[in-house]
Chain A
Amino acid sequence: MEKVCRDWAKQAFGEGLVDAKYWDEFATNAQTAAAEVYKVKDFAAGEAKLKELLAQYAPKEIIAVGGEENPALHDIYERIGNDGTQIYTDKFDIYDHRDSADVGISTAEFCVAETGSLCVDNYSYEARVTSMLPFVNIVFVNANYIVKDVTVACQIIGKVFDKGYLGFVTGPSRTADIERVLSLGVHGPNKLLIIAVENVEGGR
C-alpha cells in the first residue's frame, strides 16, 4: 500500500515526542468525540476484540487495509475470511466493494492526546475508501504511539510529509446543520472504533 512514510516510528517520531503515558487523555478526548476506544494487550487480544465487534455489527462485506505492512493484521484478516465473512484486502477488490461493504478496517500511525485524534497516512486510495465509505470504521493503532498535542503532531508530520494524503480523524463523521442537532454518519462512518494494541510484538 502506498504511504507518505514507510516507517513513521523510525523516520518521524523524535526523541520523547511519542509516549504511552498520554493514553488516558487521548482516550477521554476520543470518547468525547464519540469514538469508541479499546486498549488491548496484544494482537491476539485485538483479534478477539475485533471479532466481538464484528459479531455486533454482523457485516456482510468487509474491506480492510494494513495487512500488507503488518503480518499480524494480515493473519487476522485471513482468519476472518476463513470463518466465513467476506473480507476484501486487494486494492481492486476494495474498489469494487467500496460502496457495498458495511465495515472498513484500517490503521493509524499515532494518536493525539489533546484532541483524541488519530493521525492517518492515507496516500493510497484503498486506505481512504476503507476508512470513509462503510458505515463502521475499525482502526488499529499502536497504544504506545501518542503525542501530547497538535503542535507536536504537526512537527512530526512536517518531518516526513513530502507528497500524498494524510490527516487527523477524530470520531465519526458528523453534522449539526439541521437545527444544530448533532447527527453522526452523514458522509463518512457512523461509528469509529479504535483498537489500540499495547504490545505489537506479543501474542502471535
Chain B
Amino acid sequence: MAERNLKKEIQEKLQDDIMQSALSKFAEQYPGSRLNAYKDQDIEELRENLRQMKHDAVQHIDELADEFQASLEKRGTKVFRAKDGDEVKKILIDICKENNVKRVVKSKSMASEEIHMNECFTDNGIRVKETDLGEWMIALAGQRPSHMVMPAIHLNRYQCAKMFEKEVDHEVPGEDIPNMIQLARKTLRQEFLQADMGVTGANFGIAENGAIGLVTNEGNARLVTTLPRIHVVLIGYEKLIPKTEDAASILRLLPRNGTCQRMTSYMTMVDGPTKVIYKDENGRHVETDRKQYVILLDNGRLEAAKDPVLQQAFQCVRCASCLNVCPIWTLVGGHVYGHIYSGGIGAILTGLFHGVETFHEFSDLCIGCRKCASICPGKIPIPDLIDELRARYVKKYGAPGMDKTMFNMVLNDRGMFHKLLLKAGSIGSAPFKKGKFIRHLPLFMEELTKGRSLPTIAEESFRDRVERLSKKNPSKPKKRVAYFSGCNMDFVFADTSENVVKVLQSLDMEVVYPMEQACCGKPILGIGDREAGKETAKKNIAAFEKVQPDVIISACPTCTETLHETYMKLFENDPEWKARAAAFCSKVREFSSFVAEEYKKTGRLVHAKGGEKVTFHDSCHMKRGLGIYEEPRALIDATPGVELVEMHNCDKCCGMAGSFGMKYQEVSIPMLNEKVKNIQDTGATTAVVACPACMMQIGGGLDKAETGINTKHIADLLAEKL
C-alpha cells in the first residue's frame, strides 16, 4: 500500500464544511440524548453487567463456538468456520453455485465490510445490494461508511440526493427527505422480493440454542431474513454469548448508547432454518424450511481472545458511542482512520484483524483523553489497549528515531536540556516575545504559533530555585513532601512550581526536591517504548527513595497518573522492582486533591466571599484518569475574592494532549478554539487549570486570541491569596 499522508487527509476533512457542521452538531447533541435514554436506569450497574457477561464469554470462546455450532446443526443449519476473508468468500461462492443464486440482499454487517465481502459477489456476476439506507447510498457512490451506526453522517441531503440519482436515473430533489425515503423503500422493496439469498451479520449469537440477534431500526434485517429462500449469517466468534437471557445485558445498553433509544424499532432473533413461502417453477405455492448457513469468522479473533489485555476489545457491542464522544473523531470523521472500523475502538480492532502495522498508520489519532472509556457500554479501557498495541509495535519495529534521541536527552541531562530549550526559545525573543508568551516564530517554526502563543522558557529553571526555597521550610514540619515537578513545571512554569512549594509550606509541610528526578516517562511510554519507560521509572523511584518522603506530590495530573498507576503496571512481573514501585506509587498524590484534604483537616475548606469570576477546565487525565474534579472546585470556592462559573463542556479536551498538540496543529487548534470560546462565554477573567499542559495550550490560545483572560494553575491562585 502506498504510504499514507495522514496530515493531508486530515486537512481535507477539516475543510469539508458539510461534514464539519454535521459532526459538531451531533457531538453537541449526543451526550444529552444518551443520558435521556438512560433515565431511571443505573448506568454503571448495567455497564458492569455487560462487561462481566462478555468478559466471561470470551474466556470460553472455544466451548461457546462448539455449542453454538452443535445447536445449529441439530436444527438443520449448515455451519462453517472460516479462518479469514478469503475462506469466507470461497464458502459464499460455493453456496451461491449450489443454490443457483443470482441476487443477494444484505443487511448491515461490519464483519462483511471487514473482509470486503461484496467483491466476491460482483466478481462472480452476482447482484448484491446493501439494504440499510445509509450503506446503500454510500455503496451507490462507491464511498466508504464514516461511522459504524450512521454510515452517511458526513453527507448532507443534497449529496444524498445525488447518490439516489445514480440508481433511479431521474432528478431527485434534495429538499425533500421523506420523498427520498419513499424512493428508497420502493427501489429496495423490489430487491428484497427478487433476492434469492439474504446475508446478515449478527449482534450476538446464542450458544444454547443457536439463535442470532439482529438489532436494527429500518427493519431491513427482518426483510433480509424473511423474503429470500436462503439466509447466510456471517458472525465473528466474539459475538457468542451463552444463553438467551444474556442477550438482555447487551440489549439494555446497545440501543441507548448507539442511537439514544431505549430500544431500536426491531430486535430480531432467528434460530435455525425458519419457514419461507415461494412459488415453484410451475407457479405452485411451496412452504418449506429456509436454508440457513452460518459462517463463524476468525480473522485474528481467536488469537486475540487468548490475550489477557487485548481480549477486552471483545467486550465491544459496536454501538459506536466511543466515536460520538471522541474529540478527534468528531473533528476529522471516520474516513481518515483508513479502515472499516474507525475511532479508538476502530484502531484497536484494525490492529487485531489486520495487524499492528495497519494499526500504526493511524494510531496517532488517539490522544488518550479517556472520554470514550467513560461511556463505553462494555467498559473497554480503549486508550490503554491502544497503548498496548503501540508497545507491541515498538517491540517489533523499534521506537521512531527522532522521538527517542530527544527523549534520551530529556531523561539523562536535565541541566543541558534546559540550556538547549533556552537557546531555542531565544529565537523567539524580541520582537516576537510579549510578556510570558511567544506570539510568532520565524519560518518553519511558524506553524507552531499559528493558533496559540507559546510560553517562554523560564530564565531560571525550578531546579535552580530549590536551594533558595528550601530555606523557608517549617522547622517542625507535619509531613515531609517530596515534589515531583515533571518537565513543564521545571522548565516552563517554574513560577507555578514555586507556588506549589509555597502552598505546601503554608500547610506546615517540609518540601524536598530530589535533584536526580527525571521526566515521568509518559512521552516515551506514549509512543510505546516500555523498555525506555522502565529505565526512567527506575531512575525516579531510586531518586525518591533516597529522601524518604511521607508523600510525593505532583501538580501535573499526567505525571501523577504515570507515577501512581503506570509504574505499578510496568513492574508487575519484575520481582526486584515490584515492591519498590509499590512503595513509591502508594505515596504519590495529585497536588489539588492533597491540598483540599489538608485544608479540610484544618477547617480551611469553607466557602469564602466571592468576587472576580473564574472558570475551571478539567484536564482529561485529572478527571477521567484520576477521578479528581470536585477538589479543585472546592479549593476555588474556599479562595476569597473569586467566584467559580462553569463553562460549557468543561471536561472536553483542550487539544494539547502531550506532544499531539504540536504534531497535529490542524486538529489541536480547532479543539483549542472551541475551548477558548467556551471560556469567553462565561465572562470569567481567569481560566483556572490544574495541569501544565492544559495551561500551555489554553494560556497560549487565550493570549493569541487577545482575550485578556488570564490562565492560572490552581497553585498560582492559592498562592496569591496566602
Q: Interface of A with B (CB < 8 Å)?
A: 2, 29, 32-33, 91-92, 95, 99, 112, 114-117, 122-126, 128-129, 132-133, 149-151, 153-155, 157-158, 161-181, 183, 185-189
Contacts and interface: CB of A to CB of B under 8 A. Distances in A.
A188 B252 CA distance: 23
Contacts of A167: 222, 266-269
Interface stretch (B150-158, B385-393, B638-646, B694-702): B150-158
Contacts of A132: 219, 222-223, 226
A150 B222 contact: no
Interface of B: 22, 26, 75, 131-134, 137, 150-153, 155-157, 160, 177-178, 180-182, 184-185, 188-189, 192-193, 209, 211, 217-220, 222-223, 225-227, 243-248, 251-252, 259, 261-272, 274-279, 285, 287
B157 A154 contact: no
Contacts of A116: 262-263
A124 B275 contact: yes
Given A29-B262, A99-B193, A129-B227, 15 more contacts: A33-B265, A115-B262, A123-B274, A150-B252, A150-B263, A154-B246, A157-B269, A162-B271, A178-B155, A178-B180, A179-B177, A181-B177, A185-B185, A187-B192, A188-B218
Contacts of B266: 167-170, 173, 188
B285 A180 contact: no
A123 B180 CA distance: 32
Contacts of B219: 132, 173, 186-189
Contacts of A153: 248
Contacts of B218: 173-175, 186-188
Nearest to B276: A125
A165 B160 CA distance: 34
Contacts of B185: 185-187
16 contacts: A91-B277, A95-B278, A132-B219, A154-B251, A157-B269, A165-B268, A166-B268, A171-B265, A174-B218, A174-B265, A177-B133, A178-B160, A186-B181, A186-B219, A187-B192, A188-B218
A153 B213 CA distance: 14
A187 to B, nearest CB: 5
A157 B244 contact: yes
Contacts of A99: 189, 193
If over half of B's interface residues share one DSSP class (helix, strand or loop), that class is named, otherwise mixed; here it is mixed
A91 B247 CA distance: 31
A95 B209 contact: no
Contacts of A185: 181-182, 185
Shortest Cβ-Cβ A-B pairs, 10 listed = A188-B219, A158-B244, A177-B134, A115-B263, A154-B248, A167-B268, A173-B219, A168-B267, A115-B262, A92-B285
A81 to B, nearest CB: 21
A158 B188 CA distance: 34
A181 to B, nearest CB: 5
Nearest to B221: A187
Given A128-B222, A151-B252, A186 B133 contact: yes
A166 B274 CA distance: 11
B243 A158 contact: yes
A112 B252 CA distance: 12
